[in-house]
Amino acid sequence: MWRRAMVAAVLALIVGIWHRSDPELPERAVRYLSASLRSLQGGAGTAAAEQTIAAAWEALITSPAKQWSRVAVGVNACVDVVVSGVGLLQALAVDPGAGQDHDVLRSKEDLKETFIHYMEQGAAAERFYSDKETFQRIARAAVEYPGAQLYVGGNAALIGQKLATHPHLTVLLCGPMGPKLHELLDEQIVVPPESLQETDEFHLILEYKAGERWGSSVAPQASRFIFSHDRANGEMSALEVFVASLEDFQPDLVVLSGLHMMEGQGRQLWEQRLREAVVAMSDIPNEVPIHLELASMTDKDYMNSIMQEVLPIVNSIGLNEQELLFLSQAGSGPHSQLAAWDGVPDVGRVSDILLWVLTQRGRADAGSEADLTRVHFHTLAYHILATVDGFWANQVAAVSAGARVAGSQACGTQAIDASRVVLKAPLEFYTSHAEPRERVTLSPAEPVAVWRRENVSFHLTPVLVCKHPLRTVGLGDAISAEGLLYSEMIEQ
């Protein structure tokens, strides 16, 4: 014990001397040394930090003064078939090999290569499988695979299902609704009869664990790869039914997802449907806020069209680190030269891109007529809520609630279990990657850091990452749902 304490003391002294002599010491080195110091301080100290954060969240998470009562959610919905990715591919007689990304999957070989590509990164991704007959054979094998589990799937359905767990909410869910999906849904969810169909849309979720191996490939962290042959969701066929249902339902919040599903249908279709989506969304009354949930995409032209045509007419968006960087790459924004994040995304770079999104496509520019005023960013280690001042309230509670559900849902527990989670967030960071910037130190007892840039406020909180996650699918949707639940939009 005394040896560990001595090493920790020496390491702390080195960090102090280096930073005093060179304040511009690379942030990555500082983060590495700080993480090493925390780990050397012992298991009890670390567990205490997780417990302190969890307890602090409970005090911070308070209901907004004005809560949503009726939320309409659409339009992508399906049945998720969750299986071991490596196990299913082995059952399909596919051999391991080299990874390579494919925008659209046309064969089992494409599937294998794309799965390996993202497994080696430990990153989530979603692709369209173009061959209907081959996909159906793979889907049958997945449903029959030992241990396969069937769940509610699709961002909209998952958000609706999460919101429906709160008894004060009435939730309308619209999407391609087959019999199995309807059976799996919470009984409290209202489903428009026009969205019912005779067959289900299946999405295959290939999960892998941290450290799992296949051939020479090793997963650095737990995640999943999703693919489907889903024309109904791919064409957003339920969009018009969804918007038509709003007049009778009278929601005070609309949550929209599924735009990413159109990417695999080809440029001609997505250009036409995107225009029709914008027209349909324009029919939603101005006083009803719209939240758009983004998902994995690969076509820069398509993402750029969404950024130009859709983002300015929604009030809020939710996205992860891959989607945020791709948004910047598509629009030639800050740090768009990065091919991918190196480990935990740098807070300063993330902050730069969030400010750019709200300035270029949102209301951060005082002269803008855009509606976008809120971005909920989530990555494995931390979350950030960025909001234009004067439009949203209760954001400390909202970002804390999103982080809390990430840790509890991944572990399959009702509340955070400090023994089953670990703190991976940087406790010191800069608010920008460029000057001028502010250095922020995060305390476990006060786990929400707040800073302002121009007229945008940023709220950051760490995530208590589940050491052995039971299920990774739908975490982003649960995070966005909880964040919205505790958010309050200020009447203008």
| Residues annotated as part of the active site | 477
Separation in Å, CA 296 to CA 108, 115, 118, 225:
20, 14, 12, 11
Q: For residue 32, what are the contacts with CB-CB under 8 A and spacing of at least 6?
A: none
- Distance from C-alpha of 435 to C-alpha of 456, rounded to nearest angstrom: 17
- Distance from C-alpha of 460 to C-alpha of 441, rounded to nearest angstrom: 11
- In the β-sheet with 456-462, what is the strand arrangement from edge to edge? 170-174, 70-74, 253-257, 290-293, 316-320, 374-378, 382-388, 456-462, 449-453
- Distance from C-alpha of 259 to C-alpha of 313, rounded to nearest angstrom: 14
- Distance from C-alpha of 83 to C-alpha of 473, rounded to nearest angstrom: 11
β pairing state of 170-174 and 104-105 = unpaired
Could you list the beta-strand ranges (E) of 343-468: 374-378, 382-388, 392-393, 421-423, 428-430, 439-441, 449-453, 456-462, 464-466
- Residue (of 326, 316, 305, 373) closest to 101 by Cα position: 326
> Quick count: other Cβ atoms within 10 Å of Cβ 134?
16
Q: Is 105 left (phi over 0), alpha (psi -120 to 50) or beta?
A: beta
